[in-house]
Amino acid sequence: MSEKEQINDFNQEMNNNLKTGYSNSRLSGNFFTTSKPELSFDRMTIVGNLNKDNAKKLSEFMSLDPQIRLWDILQTKFKAKALQEKVYIEYDKVKADTWDRRNMRVEFNPNKLTYEEMLWLKQNIITHMDDDGFTRLDLAFDFEDDLNDYYAMTDKAVKKTVFYGRNGLAETKYFGVKDSNRFIRIYNKKQERKDNADIEIDSNHLWRVEIELKRDMVDYWNDCFNDLHILKPDWKTVEKQKDRAMIYLLIHEEDEWGRLERHAKYKYKKMIKDISSFDLTDLMKMTLQENKSRLQRQIDFWIGD
């Protein structure tokens, strides 16, 4: 299959999903009130090595192509932005040799590139690199539902940070730390676009669950959030008053988790899962499974022969 056919194939599959009501379809059973999310890779970083000859050829090409803005140019390094600033490119042989890593990286959001731009980027930039591979993949699930109605937690002991908006409701939840191999963001995408770009989104709600994978974790993009739970716990169904009060407190005051001993954390996390009628991450896993082949074709396109 040619590169053009590869791109058309996985993009046509996405278009078909959208045309058939993919983003608004409903699952039976417990999911009937929740719309199936749209799923995509939201950001990619590809790294590789430029040999001396390819570095010279690429530098000469980039200095002449009008779609590229090149700066910080030396024999052993250069930086550039391409395709209306959609792509960032950096080559630095000295730094790579010092830190024993590959000497070139390319960063972009594939959702912002047209078919032609994808082909241009692969054929003119990425194919010059040897030993290429991904060091970052962002997996994004977009829900047209209000995720403020849900409670998110992880089985693993990771740092959780919550930021609230002017209305007192949570707008962003982080799991993990930015420099870790996996960093999860759950945020109000509709509000974020309005605040940062003054863009009004037509949907009543738009929330994103984004899993940022780096380094070794990029190989596990299809199995990267098994410990995450996005729930609607019905705390009123808990029989014992003490447990009912504790669960209410833990749901509404995140800091209180830090006061619990390990066995108590395990107990109340299990209770919260038991009193929730469904877990939104099950819907995410189903959506990922349905789109696994399409996403794999995207990966194969960028770093395949």
Q: What is the pTM of this model?
A: 0.85
Percent of the chain with pLDDT strictly greater than 70: 89
Going 211 to 217 to 220 to 223, the CA torsion angle's sign is: negative
Do residues 240 and 290 share a domain?
A: no
Band of residue 254 on the pLDDT scale cut at 50, 70, 90: confident
Do residues 148 and 185 share a domain?
A: yes
- Which has more confidence, 260 or 33? 260
Compute the distance between CA of residue 191 and CA of residue 278 in angstroms, rounded to an integer: 26
Do residues 125 and 188 share a domain?
A: yes
| Local structure of residue 289 (DSSP, 8 states) | H
pLDDT, mean of residues 50-74: 92
CA atoms within 13 A on the CB side of 217: 17
The partner residues of 151 in beta bridges, in order of sequence, read 231
Using CA atoms in the order 94, 99, 104, 107, what is the torsion angle rounded to 10 degrees? -130
Low-confidence winner among 15-24, 55-64, 153-162, 260-269 (lowest mean pLDDT): 15-24
User: Do the beta carbons of residue 122 and residue 302 sit within 8 Å?
Assistant: yes
pLDDT at 168 over 90: no
The string of pLDDT tens digits covering residues 88-122 is: 999 999 999 999 999 999 999 999 999 999 999 99
Do residues 270 and 158 share a domain?
A: no
Q: How many CB atoms lie within 10 A of CB 82?
A: 22
pLDDT value of residue 6: 54
Pairing of strands 130-143, 207-214: antiparallel
- How is residue 66 written in tokens? 């009008």
Do residues 292 and 183 share a domain?
A: yes
Do residues 73 and 176 share a domain?
A: yes
The string of pLDDT tens digits covering residues 175-206 is: 999 999 999 999 999 988 888 877 788 788 99
Band of residue 285 on the pLDDT scale cut at 50, 70, 90: very high
User: Into how many domains does the chain fold?
Assistant: 2
pLDDT value of residue 34: 66
Low-confidence winner among 34-38, 76-80, 88-92, 220-224 (lowest mean pLDDT): 34-38
Do residues 264 and 242 share a domain?
A: yes
CA 22 to chain centre: 19
Percent of the chain with pLDDT strictly greater than 90: 71
pLDDT, mean of residues 258-265: 94
Band of residue 22 on the pLDDT scale cut at 50, 70, 90: very low
Domain that holds residue 239: 235-274
Nearest to 188 by CA among 255, 153, 143, 139: 143
User: Do the beta carbons of residue 196 and residue 172 sit within 8 Å?
Assistant: no
- How is residue 302 written in tokens? 């960028």
Instruction: Measure the CA angle with vertex 88, ends 82 and 92; round to 5°.
Output: 115
| Local structure of residue 37 (DSSP, 8 states) | P
